[in-house]
Amino acid sequence: MLEGLAQLLELQRLDDELAAFEKEHAGLPARRETVEQRRSEAEAELGRAAEALTAAELGMRQAETALQDNEAELVRLENQQFQVKSNDVYSALLREIEAAKNTISEAETGILESMDAIEAAAAARSTAEGVSKEASAALDTEIASIDDREKELREKIEQHGAGRLELVPKVAPELLKHYERISKRRSPAVVLVSIELCGGCRVGIPAQDFIEIQRGERVVTCGNCKRILLHQAKVETAEAL
């Protein structure tokens, strides 16, 4: 009888798990990258809010400067009124005074608008700060959990590798050779059968092959999908030993 039927199934179980662990492990850098991407987005949002506040503050300073300049200009123009001799020059002066007053009025409106803009931008920045802080803490937690999982996966991969090394010598070399070859293309590579039907592809098993499977003396593979066929009862007996 072929040695290691039960061990072969155990090997297959280990290999399946190992493949899943390795796949998850390989996906961890992408998960970390996604988290860092979200961190950068929160920081960029905060940066934009801070820039908007700076721009609003600059608008305020410009309006204040315009107000001061035009108030000084108005005083200068009004003083000239008493020195003017001709009507034409006087009319021109009045127009200049009117223009300065308009500019002053616009600057005053600009200051009020800037005050509103600064208030809104400061509130937006404060909100963005809160969001960024909260996001950062949540992302730190997420990174820590990815780190933990990585450690866990490395241990599992190591344990499974060791378990594999223990099982391999217990499986008949002929069986192992078939398994190593088929498992590269098919999962599962080994199926248990109890009737004349392949458990992998559901195609019927020829009577002669089925007798060989029941004997368990040589490796029998499915004529259709090439999976290794083991008899259920034979494996159960081997497990009990």
What residues line the site for Zn ion (CB under 5 A)? 198, 200-201, 222, 224-225
- Kind plus residue range of the DSSP H or E element containing 132: helix 87-167
For 227, phi then psi, to 5°, come to -70, 155
**In angstroms, what is the minimal distance from the CB of 9 to Zn ion?**
17
Cβ neighbours for 9, distance < 8 A, ≥ 6 positions apart: 190, 192, 230, 235
CB-nearer residue toward Zn ion: 49 or 190: 190
Q: Which is nearer to Zn ion, 53 or 228 (CB)?
A: 228
**Shortest approach of Zn ion to residue 5 CB, angstroms?**
18
Instruction: Name which of 155 and 196 has its Cβ closer to Zn ion.
Output: 196
**Smallest gap, in angstroms, from Cβ of residue 234 to Zn ion?**
18
Question: CA 89 to CA 39: how far, in whole Å?
Answer: 66
Nearer to Zn ion, 149 or 226 (CB): 226
Helix (H), strand (E) counts: the chain: 5, 2
Amino acid identity for residue 190 in this structure: V
* 91 vs 224, beta carbon nearer Zn ion: 224
Please state the closest distance from residue 193 (CB atom) to Zn ion, in A. Answer: 9
Q: Which residues contact 116 (CB under 8 A, 6 or more apart)?
A: none
